[in-house]
Structure formats: C-alpha cells, structure tokens
Structure 1
Amino acid sequence: MSNVTPFPSHGARAAQIGFDRLELQRILDLYGRMVSAGHWRDYAIDLGRDAAIFAAFRRSAERPEYRIEKRPALRHRQGMWALINEAGHILKRGTELQGVLAPVERRLLKVVRD
C-alpha cells in the first residue's frame, strides 16, 4: 500500500523551459494593454522541454493572433525570442524580449491630431 512509484524522467533533458518573473511581467503588461485596447481577449501559456510559448487570442475559439516563443537552444544562433503570427510566419526574432515585442506595441500607438 505504501509503494511510491517515481514519475519517469530522462535526467537533465526533462527540465522544463519557462518564463522568469521579469519576462512574464513584460508579456502580461503588453497583454493587458492589448485587452484594454480591444485587440485581445484570451491567452494561453505552454511550458515544454524545448520552448515556453505565450499565445494571445482575439477570440478563444480560434488560432492565436501572436505567439511569443522562448527557445534557449537558439540563444547563440538567431536569438531565443521569436514573435510568430497567426499563419505561422516568424515576424521578429532576437536576443532581447523588448525588441521582439516592438511590432505588437506599435499597434497600440495612435496618432493624435491637434
């Protein structure tokens, strides 16, 4: 009755990729501003062995409008951050999260006339 069966793991490869606190704060800040502007309504977070993905949806029943992916394995090549659109095309890739989020943040800018 007291036998404990360990969950199978594959050593160091079983480590999960995630967002640190500052990264998640930056992403959720953008998400909140997009929600208040009426662009997004839902989000999902997928934490896996290869990547951590934040997906933002216009409506919860469709494909995500944008995916923000963190892939540390690409850190020294193309940069570990990627912004991917609804069709699956990579819009921006880089080493800094702020630069990768810039195209989405531009949507929030409004021209103010005198």
Structure 2
Amino acid sequence: MEAEYAAMGSMLRCGWRQTHFASQLKKYADTYTYNVYNLSEYSPSFYFNSPIPLLPHEDKFMKALSRLSNEKSEDEKEKEKDKKSGQEDKEKERNNEQENTEKDNNNGQDGEDEEGKSPC
C-alpha cells in the first residue's frame, strides 16, 4: 500500500507505526474507491470507523483494570455462595430443631395416652 501511495507519506506513517487514517484506509478501502456500488455491501446503519489502537502503556493499564474488575466480581460471587450456603445450613438446623421438638412432643403425648399418666 505504501508503494502505491508513496506521495501520501506522513498521512500513512508516523515514525515506524501506521497512522489511524492508514488503518482506516486499509480496513475500508472499498469505500474510498470510485465505485459507489461498493457501499451497497454494508447496512445503512453501519458505522464506518475503525477502533483507535491503544498505545502500549494504555493497553497495559486497560488489561490491569479488567483483571481487577474480574477479581472483584469473583470475590463477590464467592461471598454470595457463602451467604447462600450459610442460609441453607441455618434452614437445615431450623428444620432439624422443629423435627426434634415435634418428636419430643409426640413422645410425651404418647406416654400420657397409653398409661393415662405422665411418664415421669
């Protein structure tokens, strides 16, 4: 591409890197041609813009930021699991206590019914 458009020079390169315009030109070359019918291949709502490439230090920062947010979300998920398991354990304990009290009540009533007296 640079050999064909050598006269454009600094529009396509900035030092050793491609310019943003050059990356757009490569990606959407058919829209920059003389034939209008090339546009029919795209939907009417298509946005003709390439993403801006990040600088190396920006890329590192964004990766670190995404790692932090992922770690936070994983910690929150673990806390929710702990809460749910704690609630389930409490419910099981309540059910066991209710069953035990019902058994105790039934045992006490059975003893009185059979003999007519309290078991004590």
**Could you state the TM-score of these two structures normalised by the residue count of structure 2?**
0.20
**Could you state the TM-score of these two structures normalised by the residue count of structure 1?**
0.21
| Greater relative contact order (Cα < 8 A, sep 6+) | 1
More strand by share: 1
Greater Cα radius of gyration, structure 1 or 2: 2
